[in-house]
Amino acid sequence: MANKISDETIEYVGILAKLELSGQEKEDAKADMEKMLDYIDTLNELDTEGIEPMSHVFPVHNVFREDVVVNGDGSEDTLANAPLKKDQSFKVPKTIG
Amino acid sequence: MDITSLTAVELGKKIKAKEISVMDAVKASIAQIEKVEKDVHSFVTVDKEGALKRAEEVQKQIDDGILTGPLAGVPVAIKDNMCTKGMLTTCSSKILENFRPTFTSEAVLNLEKAGAVIIGKTNMDEFAMGSTTETSYYGATKNPWNLEHVPGGSSGGSCAAVAAEECPYALGSDTGGSIRQPSSFCGVVGIKPTYGTVSRYGLVAYGSSLDQIGPIAKDVTDCATILETIASYDTKDSTSIARETYNFTSALKNDVKGMKIGIPRSYFGDGLDAEVREPILNAVKVLEEKGAIVEEFDLNLVKYAIPAYYVIASAEASSNLARFDGVKYGYRTETYEGLHNMYKKTRSEGFGPEVKRRIMLGSFVLSSGYYDAYYLKALRTKALIKQEFDRAFEKYDVIIAPAAPTTAPEIGKSLSDPIQMYLGDIYTISVNLAGLPGITIPVGKDTKGLPVGMQIIGNCFEENKIIRAAYTFEQTKTYERPEIAKEAR
């Protein structure tokens, strides 16, 4: 089955992925994704009825610990790589009108 | 004496015996880097000053009897996706071009505690997404055996650096074969440990459920020694596993008597280059002559591993790479209008084409309406693949496979057709899906003189079996060095 990715879908995926694609990039991405999905569709040959999705190879369970503070004030480290900062905060463009 | 020709453990012994100083060891690596780096380009960052300073400190601690381990004073190169405090960590991406972490990853910290001297950070495919090291923003790495060919990837810089003897050993990371395949292409030894063995704390995540850090070196003894040093139970990594033992060097035994080796027929059929098949089957014969019991068997579902992997890895990548948004670290676009425009422009300018391709695919398979059909389907396939391996390991101690269908391709020949490139991962990818350990060791060369590696796969937590098999074969063969490593300085 040949997958067809519409302009709307690629636009929507671009929003989810937070990527701004040029006209040519969008066309390339459509073609790429169609090819990949055709290939991924081979998985449909497999009967996976009743098989639990395996997100981890080993049984993992929550790791609990006592809620004890072990680190100090890390604000300087946290901000050390910020492209822009102001008053001990990350500086970002205005988000509320 | 030619210091750079030594293995890490040999060099460590000579440092301990005061035959070689840490400073001489570090200077030898730097001299080799200065000589070959313009051709090979293994590194994104070489920290000459830092390494020389550290050499003095480590020497003092050795002299004072504080550092006594086998790797004390030995230089190491670290793949550029592991955080190193104060040292650039770019993931070979523009988006992290100026990122200097404020902490060090646990695996690297374990090495530092053992007296390692970090010489620099190695080149890789951008965010470890690729099989050739050509997708690096900082330019491709070349194969030390033939500069017209790729070193493989994504840990291509680490493997090339070891092969070209720019450092005695390196750390890599393996999400779908990124240690084992470039080790094969560069004629070195690399281990991908059981998932959860080495802490991922400070490893910039690509596919979190698949990523593992591992050693790359010139022989099996080095790799076992390094793995023993970097492996640890770490509460900072929620998927870290407290293993019963972290002793891997005890497996360095020249003995495979009675060891049951499974050869998956599907791994040696169509699609495998005869020049790769032959040296591997010869190596298997050597192990058989040494007492191993070899049997062919059918490993099913092989062709489903790649599509399942690309769904899972891309899904995890799209989520993991959401953190690169121009706010907390790394690159931010110059001009923008509002927050969302800033995010989008930053990411679009900061990521390369392969990274964008996988983020797009990952976002799609996780999106509402497609999640069940793609993502959950892939996770169900993963469960079935794991069952196949479980069945195989009921009968066999280890499985032997190629690490790649061919030897290293020429530069510029792989990236045009992504699916074709992904197919090259066929022998390595299932191992990550099933969380298994695997080792690649050199077994020969093709007619072009490019190395061929053999992959030995073990059951979960059975590194010691693959180490023993690899070590036993290694005793029958001398390590081969590329010309670029041998040329007199």
Q: What predicted TM-score, i.e. pTM, was given to this entire model?
A: 0.97
Residue B316: the pLDDT is: 98
Which of B481, B488, B486 minimizes the C-alpha distance to B445? B481
Residues in chain B: 489
CA distance B417 to chain A (A): 9
- Percent of chain B past pLDDT 70, that is, above it, reads 99
Confidence of residue B312 (pLDDT cuts 50, 70, 90): very high
List the single residue in B209, B329, B347 with the smallest CB-CB distance to A55. B209
pLDDT digits (tens, 9 = 90+) for B423-459: 899 999 999 999 999 999 999 999 999 999 999 999 9
Q: What's the pLDDT tens digit per position in B360-415?
A: 999 999 999 999 999 999 999 999 999 999 999 999 999 999 999 999 999 999 98
Q: Is B273 left (phi over 0), alpha (psi -120 to 50) or beta?
A: beta
Q: Looking at B1-5, B40-44, B80-84, B321-325, which range is the least confident one?
A: B1-5
Enumerate residues 6+ apart whose C-beta is below 8 A from B369.
none
pLDDT-derived band at B281, boundaries 50, 70, 90: very high
Query: Mean pLDDT over residues B115-126, rounded?
Result: 98
Interface test with A, best of B380, B421, B460 (most A CBs within 10 A): B380
B109: exposed, middle or buried (Cβ count in 10 Å: 0-12, 13-18, 19+)? buried
Paired tokens of B336: 């923008």
Of A13, A55, A63, the CB nearest to B363: A13
**pLDDT, tens digit, 9 for 90 and up, residues A17-64:** 999 999 999 999 999 999 999 999 999 999 999 999 998 898 877 778
- Residues from chain B that touch A12, judged by Cβ atoms under 8 A, are 367
**Half-sphere exposure at residue B283, Cβ-oriented, CA atoms within 13 angstroms:** 29
Task: Kindly identify which residue of chain B lies nearest to residue A46, measuring between CA atoms.
Answer: B381
pLDDT at A95: 83
* Percent of chain B residues topping a pLDDT of 90: 97
Alpha-carbon distance A31 to nearest alpha carbon in chain B (angstroms): 11
Residue B98: pLDDT over 70? yes
What is the pLDDT, as a whole number, of residue A60?
Answer: 75
Instruction: Give pLDDT tens digits for B150-199.
Output: 999 999 999 999 999 999 999 999 999 999 999 999 999 999 999 999 99
Rounded mean pLDDT, B233-247? 94
Instruction: Answer for the pair B185, B142: CB distance below 8 angstroms, yes or no.
Output: no
Banded model confidence at residue A72, pLDDT cuts 50, 70, 90: confident
Q: Does B326 touch chain A (CB under 8 A)?
A: yes
Q: What is the pLDDT of residue A2?
A: 82
Angstrom distances, CA of residue B402 to CA of A73, B185, B226, B262: 50, 11, 24, 13
| pLDDT the model gives residue A62 | 79
Provide the pLDDT for residue A97: 67
Q: Does B376 touch chain A (CB under 8 A)?
A: yes
- Structure tokens, A67: 């809620």
Give the model's confidence band at B220: pLDDT under 50 very low, under 70 low, under 90 confident, else very high: very high
Which chain A residues are closer than 8 Å to B386 by Cβ?
54, 57
Query: In which band, very low, low, confident or very high, does the pLDDT at A65 lie, cut at 50, 70 and 90?
Result: confident
Give residue B421's pLDDT: 86
Mutation target to probe the B interface, by most B beta carbons within 10 A, among A6, A30, A35, A43 is A43
Average pLDDT for residues B313-338, to the nearest whole number?
97
**pLDDT bucket at A96, cuts 50 / 70 / 90:** confident
Check pLDDT > 90 for residue B1: no
Nearest CA to B126 out of B334, B356, B413 is that of: B356
Residue B351 near residue B93, CB atoms below 8 Å: yes
The interface predicted TM-score of the complex, written ipTM, equals: 0.95
